[in-house]
Structure 1
Amino acid sequence: MTLRAAGALLLALTVAACATPRYAPGPQPGVPPFPPPGRPEPAAPPLRVIEVSQLPGWTGDNHAEAFAAFRATCHAAKDAGMARACRAARAASPLSAQEARRFFEAEFQALETPGEGVLTAYFAPEYEARRAPDAVFSAPVRPKPADLVNGQAYAPRDEIEARPADDAIAWMRPEDLFFLQIQGSGVLTFEDGRRMKALYAANNGLPFVGVANPMRDRGLLARDNTSGEAIRRWLADNRGPAADEIMRLNPRYAFFRLAPDDGKQPVGSAGIPLPPGRAIAVDLAHHGHGELHWITAEAPVLRGAFPSYRRLVTALDTGGAIKGEVRADLYLGLGPEAGAEAGRVRHTLRMYRLIPRERRP
């Protein structure tokens, strides 16, 4: 599986903390149900198609960067219209910002996805690790168990952690392993300086449960400070039974394998390395790999976040916590700087799918 397919994302921790549940009222006395029996539900309004040049914030994007990312990843799309646009992009030389902008405006129109959703972000972490355990590096990185069958429920986190770890492939700080499991892959640096990629191998098939909500409810974190960075800092400061109790609220557990560090970006579920800032994880029940989207995300919830994200991105990944049509998780890159930014992204999202002109509705 992939960076996001480990089952959740770093910011899924924060989504639960900030979400307000909404409940539809039940039937009221004397009020007929809607729609009345025998009457079909009203048809959904037609989707709005606009020119790419009219997208909110379009002129402010780095179009040359967006074109380079599209050119490198457009082969992930399977439909004929996108394949034609991909061939045109690959036949072109690297374009200037103005040329790239004209390319997108000539090749595509934008289809507005109705409604609002949530933008979060993720990254590929880099952590210290050890070949043998000690008082600090006490959490084993476990390989996929021989008796685990993909797609079937396995033991929960607490049961797995209670088992012997004679087959551990590395040892990490507990809070670092917890976040590695959320991200799905990362780079480990061992005591001799050797760097290895920890690649997702499997998970225990249990649902991901965010810990931000209970941490907020217990008064462990402020309502506007439930970022991944804040959660990890609390877990590190309270390493031991208190932190273990919080982490075990999430029953999902990921297993890994090691590979040499090639210095490249991680691969998403589309099988393509993720361009930082230009790839999103989406719900594949609503979107396809290789789709090109314009995202505009504002109104951040978490302290210290950038005020907005407006850019062209490609759907190259997925994740267990990414559900819904207007829902995206933005990949921001490798290392702690990307992690600090990713942990603060929780913005109100609108999405527009770019469609080749020959495929207009």
Structure 2
Amino acid sequence: MWRALGAALAALSLAACATPQEHGPTPPGFPQPPGAPILRPPPSEPPRRLDVSALPGWALEDHDAAFAAWRATCHAAREPSMAGACKRARAAGVVRPGDGRAFLERTFVAERVGGSGVLTAYFAPVYPARRRPGGEFSAPVRPRPADLAVAAGGEVLRVRPDGTARPYPDRAAIEAAPEAQPLAWMRPEELFFLQVQGSGVLVFEDGRRLKALYAAHNGRTFVGIANPMRDRGLLARDNTSGDAIRGWLAAHRGPEAEAIMRLNPRYAFFRLAPDDGKPPAGAAGLPLPAGRAVAVDPAFHPYGELLWIDGKAPLLAGAFPTYRRLVTALDTGGAIKGPVRADLYLGEGEAAGAEAGRVRHALAMWRLVPR
């Protein structure tokens, strides 16, 4: 479920923050069905190809680790030549040092994708939760409502008892209504971030851990809150990271924070499942390897596509200066739109969240295609 189930900027953009929204098999977007055509605009001229060894930062890559991560998930690819490359990789047996680089350089060439875009990142949060409300734990984790339906065109509707239907309500209206069967109770700002990420792990007072997996969304357009918070002077221009946003919301818990969170009308519903210790699955249905999977716009990139990302010139304070690596397209998200747009999955927990919340970099991207 992820949507990626489901960063804090793309998500919170969070246009200035750095996390995406609801990813994975939990993504609230409506990914194209397997085999659907990829809607790339016809190029005015054939894409320029170059040897992968000429990619910026290629020499510094951990090629064997990159190869291993791709080989573990390459069966997501449906395009025949990529499926063939995957079959050969999986038949290669034990990988000795240097084998990964040799295979990649022998098998692929690189094609530049568009011009400049945006790189953000997301993670799988681990948050405390309670069985009953009390104190800070005042926000119910809501299951998918019985009256929520998705029309053939993707519109999310509330179906009334008389059979009539209307667009599903926004965040403010949903939160104003009591929840008869909450799955759990969380701090409001952490539930908001869980919805942005798309999935996560809840740790209850008795130590039990359950996965909160994306179940549905209300169909409203995702609106990031980073820019409004910056424009209102609530956060510094270079400090709209996920941690900064979450900290402000926690410090102003109540009507002030609620007003900010309700600027985003999108609302996600969840289901609970046992925590099997495995990474969350992306929209492609495969576990996401930390640091080696990205959420993309499936209108431009098929799941299983192998990509080289070159993220640099960060906008947020405290960010790593560059992200140059080989990644696989395994997820999507409500805020991930366009051909040069990627959301990098960085793993689970607090450290991954702190890093993800600072990723908002200028992005250049190449797709790797078999020779």
TM-score by length of 1: 0.90
Of 186, 194, 200 in structure 2, the residue corresponding to residue 186 of structure 1 is: 200
In structure 1, the residue matched to 2:134 is 134
Deviation of 1:45 (Å): 3.3
CA distance in structure 2 between the aligned counterparts of 1:307 and 1:102, rounded to whole angstroms:
28
> Is the 1:67–1:95 Cα contact (8 Å) retained in structure 2?
no
**Matched AA of 2:99:** E
> Is the 2:9–2:226 Cα contact (8 Å) retained in structure 1?
no
In structure 2, the residue matched to 1:300 is 314
CA distance in structure 1 between the aligned counterparts of 2:288 and 2:310, rounded to whole angstroms:
20
Unmatched runs of 5 consecutive residues or more in structure 2: 19-41, 157-166
Of 283, 292, 297 in structure 1, the residue corresponding to residue 297 of structure 2 is: 283
> Is the 2:16–2:360 Cα contact (8 Å) retained in structure 1?
no
Distance change >3 Å, CA 112–CA 166, structure 1 → 2:
same
CA distance in structure 2 between the aligned counterparts of 1:258 and 1:244, rounded to whole angstroms:
25
Distance change >3 Å, CA 180–CA 15, structure 1 → 2:
closer
CA distance in structure 1 between the aligned counterparts of 2:231 and 2:361, rounded to whole angstroms:
21
> Is the 2:222–2:264 Cα contact (8 Å) retained in structure 1?
yes
In structure 1, the residue matched to 2:162 is none
In structure 1, the residue matched to 2:119 is 119
Note the alpha carbon deviations across 1:204-227, whole angstroms, 9 max, x for none: 000011111111111100000001
In structure 1, the residue matched to 2:255 is 241
1:264-343, aligned counterparts within 5 Å?
A: 264-343=278-357
Identity of aligned residues (%): 67
Moved more, 200-209 or 85-94: 85-94
1:1-361, aligned counterparts within 5 Å?
A: 2-4=2-4, 9-12=7-10, 13-17=12-16, 44-150=44-150, 151=154, 152=156, 153-357=167-371
Note the alpha carbon deviations across 1:67-106, whole angstroms, 9 max, x for none: 1111110000001111111111111224234111000001
**Matched AA of 2:15:** A
Deviation of 1:125 (Å): 0.3
**Matched AA of 2:310:** T
Deviation of 1:5 (Å): 5.6
CA distance in structure 2 between the aligned counterparts of 1:263 and 1:300, rounded to whole angstroms:
32
> Is the 1:130–1:191 Cα contact (8 Å) retained in structure 2?
yes
Aligned-partner SS, 1:176:
helix
Distance change >3 Å, CA 277–CA 211, structure 1 → 2:
same
CA distance in structure 1 between the aligned counterparts of 2:368 and 2:213, rounded to whole angstroms:
32
TM-score by length of 2: 0.87
Deviation of 1:43 (Å): 7.0
Deviation of 1:260 (Å): 0.3
Moved more, 78-87 or 42-51: 42-51
CA distance in structure 2 between the aligned counterparts of 1:102 and 1:190, rounded to whole angstroms:
47
**Matched AA of 1:16:** A
Note the alpha carbon deviations across 1:169-219, whole angstroms, 9 max, x for none: 000000000000000000000000000000000000000111111111111
CA distance in structure 2 between the aligned counterparts of 1:91 and 1:149, rounded to whole angstroms:
44
In structure 2, the residue matched to 1:39 is none
**Matched AA of 1:226:** T
Distance change >3 Å, CA 309–CA 96, structure 1 → 2:
farther
Moved more, 152-161 or 92-101: 92-101
> Is the 1:290–1:315 Cα contact (8 Å) retained in structure 2?
yes
Deviation of 1:18 (Å): 7.6
> Is the 1:51–1:110 Cα contact (8 Å) retained in structure 2?
yes
Moved more, 91-100 or 281-290: 91-100
**Matched AA of 1:17:** A
> Is the 1:18–1:223 Cα contact (8 Å) retained in structure 2?
no
CA distance in structure 1 between the aligned counterparts of 2:187 and 2:117, rounded to whole angstroms:
34
**Matched AA of 1:117:** G
Aligned-partner SS, 1:149:
strand
CA distance in structure 1 between the aligned counterparts of 2:184 and 2:5, rounded to whole angstroms:
21
> Is the 1:14–1:228 Cα contact (8 Å) retained in structure 2?
no
> Is the 2:122–2:344 Cα contact (8 Å) retained in structure 1?
yes
CA distance in structure 2 between the aligned counterparts of 1:189 and 1:132, rounded to whole angstroms:
13
Distance change >3 Å, CA 55–CA 97, structure 1 → 2:
farther
**Matched AA of 2:95:** L
Note the alpha carbon deviations across 1:219-247, whole angstroms, 9 max, x for none: 10000000111000000111111101100
Question: How many residue pairs align between the two structures?
Answer: 333
Aligned-partner SS, 1:16:
coil
> Is the 2:295–2:331 Cα contact (8 Å) retained in structure 1?
yes
CA distance in structure 2 between the aligned counterparts of 1:300 and 1:311, rounded to whole angstroms:
16
Deviation of 1:14 (Å): 3.7
